[in-house]
Amino acid sequence: MTLVSARELVTDAASRGTGIGAFNVIHLETAEGLVRAAEAAQLPVVLQISQNCADYHGGLEPIALATLAVARRAATPVAVHLDHAERPELVDEAIALGFGSVMFDGGALPYDENVALTAAVVERAHAAGVYVEGELGEVGGKDGAHAPGVRTDPAEARAFVAATGVDALAVAVGSSHAMTDRTASLDLDLIARLHEALDVPLVLHGSSGVPDEVIARAVRAGMTKINVSTHLNGHFTRAVRGVLEADAALVDSRKYLAPARDALAHEAARLLRLFAFAPVTAG
Protein backbone atom coordinates (compact mmCIF):
# COMPACT_ATOMS: atom_id res chain seq x y z
CA MET A 1 0.00 0.00 0.00
CA THR A 2 2.05 2.96 -1.23
CA LEU A 3 -0.66 5.48 -2.14
CA VAL A 4 0.47 8.79 -0.67
CA SER A 5 -0.53 12.43 -0.98
CA ALA A 6 1.12 14.77 -3.46
CA ARG A 7 1.72 16.94 -0.40
CA GLU A 8 4.31 14.44 0.79
CA LEU A 9 6.01 14.02 -2.58
CA VAL A 10 6.03 17.68 -3.66
CA THR A 11 7.06 18.98 -0.24
CA ASP A 12 9.92 16.49 -0.08
CA ALA A 13 11.14 17.40 -3.56
CA ALA A 14 10.95 21.11 -2.76
CA SER A 15 12.89 20.65 0.47
CA ARG A 16 15.65 18.82 -1.41
CA GLY A 17 15.61 21.22 -4.35
CA THR A 18 14.76 18.55 -6.93
CA GLY A 19 11.89 17.92 -9.33
CA ILE A 20 9.00 15.46 -9.11
CA GLY A 21 7.30 14.05 -12.18
CA ALA A 22 3.52 14.45 -12.50
CA PHE A 23 2.19 12.51 -15.48
CA ASN A 24 -1.33 12.37 -16.87
CA VAL A 25 -3.43 9.23 -16.93
CA ILE A 26 -5.53 8.75 -20.07
CA HIS A 27 -6.74 5.18 -19.47
CA LEU A 28 -5.77 2.13 -17.42
CA GLU A 29 -2.75 1.28 -19.59
CA THR A 30 -1.18 4.68 -18.98
CA ALA A 31 -1.74 4.39 -15.22
CA GLU A 32 -0.07 0.98 -15.23
CA GLY A 33 2.80 2.20 -17.41
CA LEU A 34 3.46 5.21 -15.20
CA VAL A 35 3.60 3.08 -12.05
CA ARG A 36 5.97 0.68 -13.80
CA ALA A 37 8.13 3.69 -14.67
CA ALA A 38 8.29 4.77 -11.03
CA GLU A 39 9.20 1.25 -9.97
CA ALA A 40 11.92 0.99 -12.63
CA ALA A 41 13.40 4.35 -11.66
CA GLN A 42 12.86 3.66 -7.94
CA LEU A 43 11.38 7.13 -7.65
CA PRO A 44 7.96 8.46 -6.64
CA VAL A 45 5.45 9.74 -9.19
CA VAL A 46 2.24 11.76 -9.27
CA LEU A 47 -0.53 10.29 -11.44
CA GLN A 48 -2.83 13.04 -12.70
CA ILE A 49 -6.41 12.75 -13.91
CA SER A 50 -7.62 15.84 -15.73
CA GLN A 51 -11.14 17.16 -16.11
CA ASN A 52 -10.87 16.27 -19.81
CA CYS A 53 -9.93 12.70 -18.94
CA ALA A 54 -12.86 12.38 -16.53
CA ASP A 55 -15.22 13.68 -19.20
CA TYR A 56 -13.81 11.21 -21.74
CA HIS A 57 -14.62 8.33 -19.40
CA GLY A 58 -18.14 9.62 -18.74
CA GLY A 59 -17.30 10.73 -15.24
CA LEU A 60 -14.44 10.84 -12.75
CA GLU A 61 -15.29 7.75 -10.73
CA PRO A 62 -14.43 4.93 -13.20
CA ILE A 63 -10.95 6.13 -14.10
CA ALA A 64 -10.30 7.41 -10.57
CA LEU A 65 -11.06 4.10 -8.89
CA ALA A 66 -8.92 2.22 -11.40
CA THR A 67 -5.99 4.62 -10.96
CA LEU A 68 -6.25 4.57 -7.17
CA ALA A 69 -6.21 0.77 -7.26
CA VAL A 70 -3.08 0.73 -9.44
CA ALA A 71 -1.39 3.26 -7.13
CA ARG A 72 -2.15 1.21 -4.02
CA ARG A 73 -0.39 -1.81 -5.53
CA ALA A 74 2.77 0.10 -6.47
CA ALA A 75 6.15 -0.73 -4.99
CA THR A 76 7.12 2.95 -4.88
CA PRO A 77 5.23 5.99 -3.50
CA VAL A 78 2.48 7.12 -5.87
CA ALA A 79 0.08 10.05 -5.50
CA VAL A 80 -3.20 10.50 -7.39
CA HIS A 81 -4.02 14.11 -8.25
CA LEU A 82 -6.93 15.89 -9.94
CA ASP A 83 -5.52 18.06 -12.72
CA HIS A 84 -7.00 21.19 -14.33
CA ALA A 85 -10.43 21.05 -12.71
CA GLU A 86 -12.43 24.10 -13.74
CA ARG A 87 -15.62 22.85 -12.08
CA PRO A 88 -15.60 23.11 -8.26
CA GLU A 89 -18.01 20.18 -8.03
CA LEU A 90 -15.40 17.95 -9.71
CA VAL A 91 -12.96 18.91 -6.97
CA ASP A 92 -15.51 17.90 -4.34
CA GLU A 93 -16.02 14.56 -6.08
CA ALA A 94 -12.28 13.90 -6.21
CA ILE A 95 -11.98 14.59 -2.49
CA ALA A 96 -14.85 12.19 -1.77
CA LEU A 97 -13.18 9.50 -3.90
CA GLY A 98 -9.95 9.70 -1.90
CA PHE A 99 -7.65 11.96 -3.92
CA GLY A 100 -4.90 13.41 -1.75
CA SER A 101 -4.48 16.50 -3.91
CA VAL A 102 -6.44 18.57 -6.40
CA MET A 103 -5.82 21.41 -8.81
CA PHE A 104 -8.46 24.06 -9.22
CA ASP A 105 -7.75 25.91 -12.46
CA GLY A 106 -9.10 29.44 -12.38
CA GLY A 107 -6.27 30.72 -14.55
CA ALA A 108 -8.58 31.87 -17.34
CA LEU A 109 -10.76 33.88 -14.95
CA PRO A 110 -10.37 37.52 -13.95
CA TYR A 111 -7.98 37.79 -11.01
CA ASP A 112 -10.59 38.57 -8.34
CA GLU A 113 -12.86 35.73 -9.46
CA ASN A 114 -9.92 33.33 -9.56
CA VAL A 115 -9.03 34.32 -5.99
CA ALA A 116 -12.57 33.92 -4.69
CA LEU A 117 -13.25 30.53 -6.27
CA THR A 118 -9.80 29.14 -5.47
CA ALA A 119 -10.05 30.26 -1.83
CA ALA A 120 -13.42 28.53 -1.49
CA VAL A 121 -12.00 25.31 -2.94
CA VAL A 122 -8.99 25.52 -0.63
CA GLU A 123 -11.21 25.92 2.42
CA ARG A 124 -13.19 22.77 1.62
CA ALA A 125 -10.14 20.78 0.56
CA HIS A 126 -8.07 21.69 3.59
CA ALA A 127 -10.95 20.69 5.86
CA ALA A 128 -10.58 17.22 4.33
CA GLY A 129 -6.77 17.26 4.59
CA VAL A 130 -6.32 17.61 0.81
CA TYR A 131 -3.45 19.50 -0.83
CA VAL A 132 -4.42 22.18 -3.37
CA GLU A 133 -2.64 23.49 -6.46
CA GLY A 134 -3.81 26.77 -8.00
CA GLU A 135 -2.94 28.57 -11.22
CA LEU A 136 -2.09 32.18 -11.93
CA GLY A 137 -1.14 33.63 -15.30
CA GLU A 138 -2.68 31.19 -17.74
CA VAL A 139 -0.62 28.39 -19.19
CA GLY A 140 -1.10 28.68 -22.95
CA GLY A 141 -1.79 26.23 -25.70
CA LYS A 142 -4.98 24.39 -26.53
CA ASP A 143 -8.08 26.54 -27.05
CA GLY A 144 -5.95 29.68 -27.19
CA ALA A 145 -5.74 30.06 -23.42
CA HIS A 146 -3.81 33.32 -23.66
CA ALA A 147 -1.80 35.51 -25.95
CA PRO A 148 1.90 34.70 -26.37
CA GLY A 149 4.10 36.41 -23.83
CA VAL A 150 1.73 36.33 -20.85
CA ARG A 151 3.67 35.62 -17.66
CA THR A 152 2.93 35.26 -13.95
CA ASP A 153 3.94 38.37 -12.00
CA PRO A 154 5.86 37.53 -8.77
CA ALA A 155 4.17 40.23 -6.68
CA GLU A 156 0.72 39.19 -7.87
CA ALA A 157 1.62 35.55 -7.25
CA ARG A 158 2.61 36.34 -3.67
CA ALA A 159 -0.69 38.13 -3.12
CA PHE A 160 -2.62 35.26 -4.73
CA VAL A 161 -1.03 32.63 -2.49
CA ALA A 162 -1.70 34.74 0.61
CA ALA A 163 -5.33 35.35 -0.38
CA THR A 164 -6.18 31.77 -1.36
CA GLY A 165 -4.01 29.57 0.86
CA VAL A 166 -2.99 27.27 -2.03
CA ASP A 167 -0.23 24.77 -1.28
CA ALA A 168 1.41 24.90 -4.73
CA LEU A 169 1.16 27.27 -7.67
CA ALA A 170 1.17 26.60 -11.43
CA VAL A 171 2.79 29.57 -13.14
CA ALA A 172 3.10 30.86 -16.70
CA VAL A 173 6.79 31.08 -17.58
CA GLY A 174 6.83 30.26 -21.30
CA SER A 175 5.52 26.70 -21.63
CA SER A 176 2.41 25.77 -23.59
CA HIS A 177 0.04 22.82 -23.42
CA ALA A 178 -0.24 20.10 -26.08
CA MET A 179 3.04 20.85 -27.88
CA THR A 180 4.31 17.93 -29.96
CA ASP A 181 7.75 19.42 -30.63
CA ARG A 182 10.13 20.21 -27.78
CA THR A 183 11.06 23.77 -28.68
CA ALA A 184 9.58 25.90 -25.88
CA SER A 185 11.83 28.44 -24.20
CA LEU A 186 11.30 29.14 -20.49
CA ASP A 187 11.92 32.40 -18.66
CA LEU A 188 14.46 31.03 -16.18
CA ASP A 189 15.00 34.42 -14.54
CA LEU A 190 11.27 34.67 -13.86
CA ILE A 191 11.25 31.16 -12.37
CA ALA A 192 14.04 32.19 -10.00
CA ARG A 193 12.16 35.36 -9.02
CA LEU A 194 8.95 33.43 -8.42
CA HIS A 195 10.84 30.86 -6.35
CA GLU A 196 12.31 33.67 -4.26
CA ALA A 197 8.97 35.43 -3.85
CA LEU A 198 6.86 32.44 -2.81
CA ASP A 199 6.92 29.97 0.05
CA VAL A 200 5.00 27.29 -1.90
CA PRO A 201 6.35 24.94 -4.59
CA LEU A 202 6.15 26.00 -8.24
CA VAL A 203 4.46 23.82 -10.87
CA LEU A 204 5.40 23.73 -14.56
CA HIS A 205 2.50 22.83 -16.85
CA GLY A 206 2.99 22.24 -20.57
CA SER A 207 6.37 20.57 -20.02
CA SER A 208 5.98 18.28 -23.05
CA GLY A 209 7.20 21.09 -25.28
CA VAL A 210 10.29 21.87 -23.19
CA PRO A 211 13.68 20.28 -24.04
CA ASP A 212 15.41 18.15 -21.39
CA GLU A 213 18.19 20.61 -20.73
CA VAL A 214 15.75 23.48 -20.27
CA ILE A 215 13.65 21.48 -17.81
CA ALA A 216 16.79 20.66 -15.85
CA ARG A 217 17.69 24.35 -15.74
CA ALA A 218 14.14 25.18 -14.65
CA VAL A 219 14.44 22.74 -11.74
CA ARG A 220 17.74 24.32 -10.81
CA ALA A 221 16.04 27.73 -10.92
CA GLY A 222 13.35 26.59 -8.49
CA MET A 223 10.64 24.63 -10.31
CA THR A 224 9.43 21.56 -8.41
CA LYS A 225 6.43 19.73 -9.90
CA ILE A 226 6.90 18.99 -13.61
CA ASN A 227 3.72 18.04 -15.50
CA VAL A 228 3.99 15.96 -18.69
CA SER A 229 1.22 14.46 -20.83
CA THR A 230 1.46 15.00 -24.61
CA HIS A 231 5.11 13.89 -24.85
CA LEU A 232 4.35 10.56 -23.18
CA ASN A 233 1.19 10.12 -25.23
CA GLY A 234 3.37 10.42 -28.31
CA HIS A 235 5.56 7.51 -27.22
CA PHE A 236 2.47 5.42 -26.49
CA THR A 237 0.81 6.20 -29.82
CA ARG A 238 3.92 5.66 -31.93
CA ALA A 239 4.32 2.22 -30.38
CA VAL A 240 0.71 1.34 -31.20
CA ARG A 241 1.16 2.55 -34.77
CA GLY A 242 4.35 0.54 -35.18
CA VAL A 243 2.76 -2.72 -34.05
CA LEU A 244 -0.32 -2.26 -36.24
CA GLU A 245 1.74 -1.34 -39.28
CA ALA A 246 3.82 -4.49 -38.79
CA ASP A 247 0.78 -6.79 -38.58
CA ALA A 248 -2.33 -5.66 -40.46
CA ALA A 249 -4.22 -8.79 -39.33
CA LEU A 250 -3.81 -8.10 -35.60
CA VAL A 251 -7.14 -7.73 -33.76
CA ASP A 252 -6.26 -8.42 -30.09
CA SER A 253 -5.84 -4.95 -28.59
CA ARG A 254 -3.64 -6.33 -25.81
CA LYS A 255 -1.02 -7.16 -28.43
CA TYR A 256 -0.54 -3.48 -29.31
CA LEU A 257 -1.44 -1.83 -26.00
CA ALA A 258 1.17 -3.81 -24.06
CA PRO A 259 4.12 -2.58 -26.18
CA ALA A 260 2.68 0.94 -26.02
CA ARG A 261 2.48 0.71 -22.24
CA ASP A 262 6.10 -0.44 -22.17
CA ALA A 263 7.22 2.44 -24.42
CA LEU A 264 5.47 4.98 -22.22
CA ALA A 265 6.96 3.41 -19.09
CA HIS A 266 10.49 3.54 -20.50
CA GLU A 267 10.27 7.25 -21.35
CA ALA A 268 8.48 8.15 -18.11
CA ALA A 269 11.24 6.46 -16.09
CA ARG A 270 13.84 8.47 -17.99
CA LEU A 271 11.99 11.71 -17.23
CA LEU A 272 11.63 10.85 -13.54
CA ARG A 273 15.40 10.45 -13.32
CA LEU A 274 15.97 13.69 -15.20
CA PHE A 275 13.73 15.67 -12.85
CA ALA A 276 15.08 14.05 -9.68
CA PHE A 277 18.76 14.51 -10.47
CA ALA A 278 18.77 18.19 -11.48
CA PRO A 279 19.30 19.55 -7.94
CA VAL A 280 19.19 23.15 -6.81
CA THR A 281 20.06 24.71 -3.51
CA ALA A 282 16.89 24.29 -1.45
CA GLY A 283 15.48 27.37 0.16
Instruction: Point out the residues that are catalytic.
Output: 83
Can you tell me the distance from the alpha carbon of 277 to that of 281, in angstroms, rounded to the nearest whole number? 12
CB neighbour list of residue 15: distance below 8 Å, 6 or more residues apart: 282
CB-CB contact of 138 with 114 (8 Å): no
Residue whose C-alpha is closest to residue 37's, from 263, 275, 240, 278: 263
Neighbours of 155 (CB within 10 A): 9
Helix residue spans in the chain (DSSP H): 6-16, 28-41, 51-56, 60-72, 88-97, 111-127, 154-164, 188-197, 212-221, 230-246, 254-276
Determine phi and psi for 226, rounding to 5 degrees: -115, 110
Determine phi and psi for 268, rounding to 5 degrees: -65, -40
